[in-house]
Structure 1
Amino acid sequence: MTRTIRVYTAAAASLTALFSTTQAGAHCFVGSRFFPATLAVDDPCVADELSLPTISVLKNGDDPSARQLDISGEFSKRITDDVGISIGSAFTRLRVPGGPSASGWQNLETTLKYQFLTDPEAEFVMSAGLSVEWGKTGNPSVGAEKFNVLTPTVWFGKGFGDLVPDTLSWARAFGVTGQFGYAVPTWPRTVTVAGFDPDSGFDFDVEHNPRFLVWGGTLHYNFRYLQSNVVDIGLPDFAARLIPIVEARFVTPLANRETSGFTTRGTVNPGVIWVGNYFQIGAEAIIPINRKSGRDIGWLAQLHFYLDDIFPRSVGRPIIPGVLPTTIGRPTAVSYEGGR
Structure 2
Amino acid sequence: MSRFMLLRSLALASFIAVTFTTHAFAHCFVGARFLPATLLTDDPCVADEMSIPTVGWSKTADVPPASQLDISIDFSKRITENFGVTFSQGWTQIRQPDGTVASGFGNLETAFQFQVLKDPSHELAILTGLSVDWGRTGSTGAGFADKFSTITPTINIGKGFGDLPDSLSWIRPFAVTAQVGYQIPTDSFDFTQNVFIPQQLVYGGTLQYSMPYLKSEVIDLGLPDFFNHLIPLVEVSLTTPMANNFGNPSTTTGTVNPGVIWVGSYFQVGIEAMIPINRESGTGVGVLAQLHLYLDDIFPRSIGQPLFGGSSAPTRKLTF
Normalising by the residue count of structure 1, what TM-score does the alignment of the two structures yield?
Answer: 0.83
1:21 paired residue number: none
Q: In structure 1, what residue type is equivalent to 2:149?
A: N
2:183 paired residue number: 183
| Structure 1 Cα separation of the partners of residues 74 and 159 of structure 2 | 24
1:280 paired residue number: 268
2:222 paired residue number: 234
- Is the 8 Å Cα contact of residues 94 and 142 (structure 1) preserved in structure 2? no
| Structure 1 Cα separation of the partners of residues 172 and 79 of structure 2 | 33
Please give the per-residue CA displacement for 1:4-51, whole angstroms capped at 9, x wherever unaligned.
xxxxxxxxxxxxxxxxxxxxxx92000000001100111110110110
1:216 paired residue number: 204
Q: CA deviation at 1:61?
A: 2.0
1:6 paired residue number: none
| Structure 2 Cα separation of the partners of residues 334 and 77 of structure 1 | 18
What secondary structure is seen at the aligned counterpart in 1 of 2:168? helix
1:258 paired residue number: 246
Among the aligned pairs, what percent are the same residue? 55
Aligned positions of 1:1-340 closer than 5 A: 27-98=27-98, 100-140=100-140, 141-163=142-164, 165-192=165-192, 206-322=194-310, 334-337=316-319
- Is the 8 Å Cα contact of residues 113 and 127 (structure 1) preserved in structure 2? yes
What secondary structure is seen at the aligned counterpart in 1 of 2:122? coil
Higher relative contact order (CA 8 A, sep 6+): 2
- Is the 8 Å Cα contact of residues 92 and 142 (structure 1) preserved in structure 2? no
Q: In structure 2, what residue type is equivalent to 1:149?
A: T
1:333–1:52 CA distance, 2 compared to 1 (3 A)? closer
1:78–1:333 CA distance, 2 compared to 1 (3 A)? closer
1:267–1:258 CA distance, 2 compared to 1 (3 A)? same
**Structure 1 outlier segments of 4+, above 3 Å:** 331-335
- Is the 8 Å Cα contact of residues 32 and 334 (structure 1) preserved in structure 2? no
| Structure 2 Cα separation of the partners of residues 93 and 40 of structure 1 | 19
| Structure 2 Cα separation of the partners of residues 283 and 335 of structure 1 | 22
CA RMSD of aligned residues (A): 1.8
| Structure 1 Cα separation of the partners of residues 36 and 223 of structure 2 | 19
- Is the 8 Å Cα contact of residues 104 and 144 (structure 2) preserved in structure 1? no
| Structure 2 Cα separation of the partners of residues 139 and 36 of structure 1 | 32
Q: CA deviation at 1:130?
A: 0.4
| Structure 1 Cα separation of the partners of residues 75 and 143 of structure 2 | 23
What secondary structure is seen at the aligned counterpart in 1 of 2:81? coil
- Is the 8 Å Cα contact of residues 264 and 318 (structure 2) preserved in structure 1? no
Which deviates further from its counterpart, 266-275 or 56-65?
56-65
2:13 paired residue number: none
| Structure 1 Cα separation of the partners of residues 170 and 73 of structure 2 | 36
Q: CA deviation at 1:258?
A: 2.6
- Is the 8 Å Cα contact of residues 135 and 146 (structure 1) preserved in structure 2? yes
What secondary structure is seen at the aligned counterpart in 2 of 1:309? helix
